[in-house]
Every structure is written in C-alpha cells, then in structure tokens.
Homo-oligomer: A and B are copies of this chain.
Amino acid sequence: MDMGTLRAATGGIGMIIRDLAPGDRDDVREALVDCAAFSAAEVRMALDMVESGLNGDYVLPAVEMDGRVRAYACLGKAILTASSWYLYWICVHPAYQGRGIGRRLQDHVEEIVRQAGGDRVVVETSGRADYQRTRSFYRRAGFSVSGRIRDFYKTGDDCVIYTKVLGRVA
C-alpha cells in the first residue's frame, strides 16, 4: 500500500490509524506511563486489557506517527445491552497531545461503534481536578454527564459517567 495515500487519507500529518498489534506493547506502555495521568495500578490494568484486546476481548484502535504508536483506545460492547459500548481507555502520548490526535482517534472509535451497529458510547472518568482536561475533551467531543458516583475511586475522587449518543451518518 502506498504510504502517501494513507497519509493523505488520515489528514496529511503522517498519522496512520490502524489496529494495535502485539509489537506495539512498548509504545503503549510508554504513552500510558509518560502521560502521568495514570497510577501504576491503572497502567497495569490498561496493559492487562491490551493483552485481552489482542486476544479479541476488546477493540484496540491505534494512531501511529513517526513509526511508533503514539495514541490508542480500548473499547468493547457493553454486555447485556442492545447497542451500547464502553470506551475504557483512550491515551495520547504527552509529546503528541494538542494536535487533535485524541479527537481523530475519538472519531475513529465512534466509527468503529457505528459500523458494529452501536449507537452510544459510555465513558467513566475521574472527577478530580487534574482530570479537568479529560472531562473537557469528552464534553467537546459531544458527551454529556449521565451520573456521578461520589468518592467512587477514593475519598474526594468521584466517578463521572459520560454518554454520547451517536448520530446516524448521512
């Protein structure tokens, strides 16, 4: 496949959107650790879910730039629902933030959900002050708050539940 065509198709900034592969594990770990948003336990959990995803339990879209994976997401159908999906993780390497990569990845996530017949995406995130940027990201991406579980993660650390209902593609 012609790389020039791929780049053109993904915005002309050298961004390749593809599925995560086993060889990307180190890149994912680096993005998760360096972005400093996640505790050691959260990084372990995210990496466990990458392993499960590589075995088919989750969908793992990734963004490759400069020859390495710099962002990825982990999502899956919500069991016992007709068409709801959970977006479990989305992470952009800090050196690549602020370029719209997260938003491009989010658009791709929604396209995956739509293609699979899904019509809504649910995200659980932290209500902590240092997650303000994450919550703004979801709000700008069209999510609204569906709930808040006080002190869920720990005292002073609420779980905020966001939902986005996906419009039909014209």
Contacts and interface: CB of A to CB of B under 8 A. Distances in A.
Nearest to A122: B149
A57 to B, nearest CB: 14
A69 B151 CA distance: 35
Interface in A76-108: 78-84
Interface stretch (A2-10, A17-25, A153-161): A153-161
- How many copies of the shown chain assemble into the complex? 2
A45 interface: yes
B41 A152 contact: no
A130 to B, nearest CB: 16
A156 to B, nearest CB: 10
Nearest to A41: B80
Contacts of A42: 80
A146 interface: yes
Q: What is the size category of the interface that chain A forms with chain B? A: 20 to 34
B120 A151 contact: yes
Interface in A14-71: 39, 41-42, 45
B151 A148 contact: no
A45 B80 contact: yes
Contacts of A154: 81-83
A163 B149 CA distance: 7
A142 interface: no
A150 interface: yes
A143 to B, nearest CB: 12
